Structure 1
Amino acid sequence: MTAPLGVILAGGQARRMGGGDKGRLEIGGRSILDHVRDRLGPQVEAMALNANGDPARFADTGLPVLADSIDGFAGPLAGVLAGLDWAAGQGARHIVTVAADTPFFPADLVPQLLLAAEAQGKPIALAATPDPERGIARHPTFGLWPVALREDLRAALAAGTRKVVAWTDRYGTALASFPVDRGDPFFNVNTPDDLARARERSA
């Protein structure tokens, strides 16, 4: 399987941070978005940013900005669809998505997702971590998505589907499990307290 394209999902409204672009908050003197872009870049053929509103505010990133085609902040699946539509125009077969507020995700995320999809024979792969209560916790904004399913996803969104796993479970989902011995690699910055913890972790 050839290397997929990468899509950074930044289409949320960041209500718990008071609005604005969480990816612009700084950790260790650099924006969270810079950390995310630098981690994802070496793992993919090319990258784009899924964000709504004025795309000019991201001009300094050098990334194409993809707006949701579904109105009303339809959640991560709308960002996945925007990424799949972009990838189709590039002739790509897969994308990998990551969240724009998660600066510590694994540096081997993409190869592990590809391996999981191939080994488990599933069209979609999601990242996961051990969970003491549930056994395993899925991280559905970190996934490998085939361009071939984009029209299925478009129809599901039009029908009102919003929860990621409500759609992925229709097709069967491979899981790529990542260790948490050095902290949760999918820790995301949702609140000011989260931002403080992220700054401590990166110090």
Structure 2
Amino acid sequence: MSWDAVVLAGGSARRLGGADKPLATVGGRTLLDRVLAAVATAREVIVVGPVRPVRLARPVAWTCERPPGGGPVAALAAGLELVSAPLVAVLAADLPFLTAGTVAALVRAVGGADRETTGAGQRGAAPLWGALLIDPAGRRQYLTGVWRTSVLRARLPTAPAGVALRSVLAGPRVVAVPADERTTLDCDEPADLERARRWARMAR
């Protein structure tokens, strides 16, 4: 199934001293560029946040949440306005080790679920509507997932500002895909960013 990508790149990054987190560098590339590289094969790439310079060699659509600073659900709502594919990858902009292969696995998990059966082997179970990563500690990564666009639109509240993301994305028809600590690392704090830079140096 074809898919679009929505990258959430807003927020104030208070835990990083107010720095523009998507432009922080890991291994010589910004966090935003690293995430965009992982979704380069999406039909449309949409970034929610201020326009920034990026290296992706294809067009990127930019939009902003309303109101500015309204939180991740408001940002998701703004991004979904530009989505036309049946599936959408919804990703944070601070995932330095997200890869195209990981995103593809999530797309396959959702897109291939139409023929699912019930546990008893009977057909008729509702299809999966989302797949997300789960880290080694068992935490679901709600901003590293692929979702059915129609379901996301139906679950969005009429007033999305300030709404908790988990209340929109959690559900019984969401599959958790295990991933390692490196893949699920998000750079919320200075220690996370330093860990990412250390791992990138080790990889080189």
Instruction: Normalising by structure 1, report the TM-score.
Output: 0.78
Match of 2:177 in 1: 177
Deviation of the 1:59 alpha carbon? 7.1
Conserved 8 A contact 2:46-2:62: yes
* 1:144-178 deviation line (CA, Å, top 9, x unaligned): 23332354344x25177722221233x53422413
Aligned counterparts of 1:175 and 1:31: Cα–Cα separation in 2: 30
Among 113, 123, 136, the alignment partner of 2:129 is 123
1:75 aligns with 2:108: no
Q: Which has the higher helix share?
A: 1
Give the match for residue 16 of structure 2: 17
| Amino acid paired to 2:74 | A
Letter in 2 for 1:27: V
Q: Is the 8 A contact 1:78 1:157 kept in 2?
A: no
Q: Deviations over 1:11-53 (max 9, x none)?
A: 21100111132111112222121111112213x222121115x
Of the candidates 137, 140, 147, which is equivalent to residue 138 of structure 1?
Answer: 140
**SS across alignment from 1:149:** helix
* Distance in 1 separating the partners of 2:198 and 2:191: 11
Counterparts of residues 161-200 of structure 1 (less than 5 Å): 162-169=163-170, 171-180=171-180, 183-200=181-198
- Report the equivalent of 1:101: 94
**Residue 129 (structure 1) shift:** 2.6
Secondary structure of 2:81's partner? helix
Give the Å deviation of 1:111: 2.6
Q: Is the 8 A contact 2:49 2:65 kept in 1?
A: yes
Note the alpha carbon deviations across 1:88-145, whole angstroms, 9 max, x for none: xxx32221011111111243233322333243622222222332xxxx2210011223
Is the contact made by 2:44 and 2:60 (CA closer than 8 Å) also made in structure 1? no
Distance 1:100 1:59, change over 3 A: closer
Instruction: State how many pairs are aligned.
Output: 186
Of residues 33, 39, 43, the one that matches 1:45 is 43
**CA separation of 1:41 and 1:160: change in aligned 2, threshold 3 A:** closer
Alignment check: 8 A CA contact 2:26 2:200 kept: yes
- How far apart are the structure 2 equivalents of 1:190 and 1:110? 21
The Cα of 1:58 is off from its aligned counterpart by 4.1
* Structure 2, unaligned runs of 5 or more: 117-126
**8 Å contact kept, 1:112–1:176:** no
Q: Which runs of 5+ in 1 are unaligned?
A: none
* Contact kept in structure 1, 2:38 and 2:103, CA below 8 Å: no
Q: Find the aligned partners of 2:16 and 2:173 in 1 and give their Cα distance.
A: 31
CA distance in 1, matches of 2:20, 2:71: 15
* TM-score (normalised: structure 2): 0.78
* Correspondent of 1:86 among 79, 82, 88: 82
Spell out, residue by residue over 1:54-112, the C-alpha distance to the aligned partner (whole angstroms, 9 max, x if none).
x3x4477652211113x25232222222221101xxx3222101111111124323332
